Amino acid sequence: MSNYIKATDFASKDALPSGDALKTLSGTELDDEFNDIATASATKANASGAVLTGVPVAPTAATGTDTTQLATTAFVQANDALQANLASPTFTGTPAAPTAAADTNTTQLATTAFVTTEAALKADLASPALTGTPTAPTAAADTNTTQLATTAFVTTEANLKADLAGATFTGDITATGVDFGGPVNAGGVLSTSNTLDDYEEGTWTPYVTGSLTVGSPTYYSQVGHYEKIGRQVTVRGYIVVNQLNTLDGSVRILGLPFASNSTVGNRSVCSFGRCDSLAISAGESVTGQIVENTSQIVVYVWSLATGTSNMDDAELSDTAELQFTATYSV
């Protein structure tokens, strides 16, 4: 690019006297001037549709200028610093945007007004006050967690329970017993002495043995029944011996349904209501007891003259008949 500078002072020629050679305007002078003009013109941009080359510069407009003034790169950078990025923009101040319609579910920006409207339709996480007919997934039967229980869950569970009034139980029924109150021990648990926790009735088969030789007696009849109420067992027995068959020693009645308790001295008596075909003397009677930690009735013969003695096998003859009852604790 070059600027045109006039080389010939044409006006100074007017002051020269006639005949002066320099007063004449030569063709060379004119060519030089016009050539310089052509050269300068060729290196300038057109005012309209200019095609600039090199690195054009221009004055930088003030930040925020919004006219037809050319924008320099410095102007653009200064204005960019005031704009947010399209990707992951970081806004400052209080950005505002149009508020979407309620329940809008798009990528549109959510304003605080939109969120507040939507939040007003939701329940609080803490102590929510639900309205309408709230629903939730129904937990599996027997679930025991903090999961919400639906009416379906409760109904399912309730169907597995008995009614308080007029209950109809099914299957095997178990219970921890009936508590009749009473003193509370140091641990805060009701004393088992006040709890009735067992009842059972059934049969047992009484038989006699000898302390020296068990023998193999045969019988006409062996009948026994029992009732167990808590720790108390009541037995009734009826034996009619056919043959004693080598039974030897002191007579015992075995076959009790339960072993007696382990407490030393906690013994029970056995009452004989009917005895027959025994080889005992007049004035003698048959007694018995159940000692702790055993499962047998020890049979005695008592007389006023000699007191109590073990019944010997010789006193229990063939065809002997014993009918008795005893109550003992287990």
Partner 1 sequence: MSLIKVSQLDKTEIVGDFKHVQCRHATWVEDNGVIVGGKSFSRHVIAPNDDVSNEPLETQAIVAAVHTQAVKDAYAAHLLAQEAEV
Binding site for partner 1 (CB under 8 A): 200-205, 211, 214, 226, 250, 254-262, 291, 293-296, 298, 300, 307-310, 330
Nearer to partner 1, 207 or 324 (CB): 207
Which residues, at least 6 apart from 4, have a Cβ–Cβ distance to it below 8 Å?
36, 37, 39, 40, 41
Nearer to partner 1, 250 or 268 (CB): 250
Nearer to partner 1, 72 or 213 (CB): 213
In a 13 Å sphere around the CA of 56, the CA atoms on its Cβ side amount to 10
Amino acid type, 35: N
Closest CA to 205 of 256, 242, 241, 162: 256
Instruction: Please report how close the Cβ of residue 243 comes to partner 1 at its closest, in angstroms.
Output: 19
Instruction: Please report how close the Cβ of residue 324 comes to partner 1 at its closest, in angstroms.
Output: 17
Amino acid type, 92: T
Q: Name beta bridge partners: 324.
A: 237, 272
Quick check: 254 and 209 in contact, CB under 8 A?
yes
Instruction: Please report how close the Cβ of residue 202 comes to partner 1 at its closest, in angstroms.
Output: 3
Instruction: Please report how close the Cβ of residue 258 comes to partner 1 at its closest, in angstroms.
Output: 6
Quick check: 256 and 330 in contact, CB under 8 A?
no
Nearer to partner 1, 150 or 325 (CB): 325
The span from the CA of 330 to the CA of 267, in Å, is 10
Please report, for residues 55, 163, 274, the alpha-carbon distance to residue 95 in angstroms, rounded to integers and kept in the order given.
38, 64, 109
Nearer to partner 1, 252 or 320 (CB): 252
Nearer to partner 1, 138 or 310 (CB): 310
Q: Provide, for the chain, the percentages of residues in helix, strand and coil under a 3-state DSSP scheme, each rounded to the nearest 5.
A: 15, 30, 55
Instruction: Please report how close the Cβ of residue 151 comes to partner 1 at its closest, in angstroms.
Output: 32
Instruction: Please report how close the Cβ of residue 266 comes to partner 1 at its closest, in angstroms.
Output: 12
